[in-house]
Chains A and B, each alone.
Chain A
């Protein structure tokens, strides 16, 4: 198995063109070339930490504020999902729990494992094959909860007996998803594939 780096060549991460090592820009697409072996990990750690920090208010503050003639109520992500399940909307509750709790927590764990593995120079075959794809492609689906809340508040405003408004958690959650997406984009998958396999996972 021959990699571009092992032949003193640089492969472009954007267009896959090959050029001699040491070039700063790709001759074909004109975008900057980066050597994955010397990639700084702290920017990805910083975005991940910001995403994890925002996930805390996203779960503690109200996601949805409901007002009727009789009472006003604010519900968090977990509280809202529980109320939905009790009201019979089990599918909607399951989607919210999966994409707002399970996927983000899984993403934090996988990203931390990937970055930790890169720091040690050893990444497990499972993580490099499945982990990066999970954070890159599945992670963005967490935004589904933010869209549901935004749509519900727009739809229900036409009902004169109830008003629904997004809570501050919706914005914190959206920013948390954006931060973790950015963290995942800063990890060069070539660094994962060319680190030593870690038999621990």
Chain B
């Protein structure tokens, strides 16, 4: 590694740092505190595993009942898709926006990440548009709100229990697991090493 390749600039404060020579060594900016390189040797492999797990959990959230509501002897199992479709009139926009933020964008992020990382973990060349896919998955990060919805659901269920009998379904627990996988992925991703691997020329 020579010249400018041996340097990195902190994306938060622009301070220049030397890239550590030792593989697996972490690096944190000593000016603003931002983590620049995660101290994890197999960040790509770990993140690929988490992305595939997140994608499977998202499919589970969509297909299994989120809650079962019982009222006056009637029982109704509701998936998250039913939730989005249950509105009528203008609140459909609100239901649509909610489902995009809590399920569509997190699932899309996991899929983009898996696409970008899949050939890299075996040391292969990147797939077409893999850099774009990873860049988009990073840009969508603040808009993925599964963990916020999970907390909102827990609070809403305590209030709704005053009016109807609510049983928590498998989909709710899968959503919690998906939010946890998303948080773990954010915590373990080494953007520097993934970009470095994606930056190698394509075959």
Contacts and interface: CB of A to CB of B under 8 A. Distances in A.
B7 A18 contact: yes
B124 interface: no
A156 B69 CA distance: 9
Contacts of A145: 152
Interface stretch (B41-49, B71-79, B176-184): B71-79
Interface string A189-201: 1100110000000
B95 interface: yes
A144 to B, nearest CB: 5
A87 to B, nearest CB: 8
Nearest to B163: A159
Interface string B145-186: 100110111011111100110100000000000000000000
B12 A190 contact: yes
Given A29-B195, A144-B151, A185-B142, A18 B4 contact: yes
A190 B13 contact: yes
A158 B14 contact: no
Interface in A129-167: 129, 136, 140-141, 143-148, 150-160, 162, 165-166
B9 A18 contact: yes
Interface in B124-158: 131-132, 134-135, 138, 142-143, 145, 148-149, 151-153, 155-158
A98 to B, nearest CB: 12
Given A84-B159, A143-B148, A147-B102, A17 B195 contact: yes
Given A4-B16, A158-B69, A11 B195 contact: no
Contact of A158 (B71, B93, B138, B158): B71
A155 B87 contact: no
Interface string B1-34: 0001001111111111000000000000001100
A89 B157 CA distance: 12
Interface string A39-57: 0000000000000000000
B interface secondary structure, majority: helix
A91 B87 CA distance: 27
B200 to A, nearest CB: 9
B16 A162 contact: no
B98 interface: yes
B160 A156 contact: yes
Interface residues of A, number: 63
B198 interface: yes
Given A143-B145, A147-B148, A2 B16 contact: yes
Given A29-B198, A155-B164, A92 B12 contact: no
A193 B91 CA distance: 42
A28 interface: yes
A189 B71 contact: no
A91 B155 CA distance: 9
Interface string B52-84: 000000000000000101011010101000010
Interface string A12-43: 11111111100000011111000010000000
Given A144-B151, A156-B160, A36 B72 contact: no
Given A143-B148, A147-B102, A190-B11, A162 B31 contact: no
Interface of A: 1-5, 7, 9-20, 27-31, 36, 84, 89, 91-92, 95, 129, 136, 140-141, 143-148, 150-160, 162, 165-166, 168, 170-171, 174, 181, 185, 189-190, 193-194
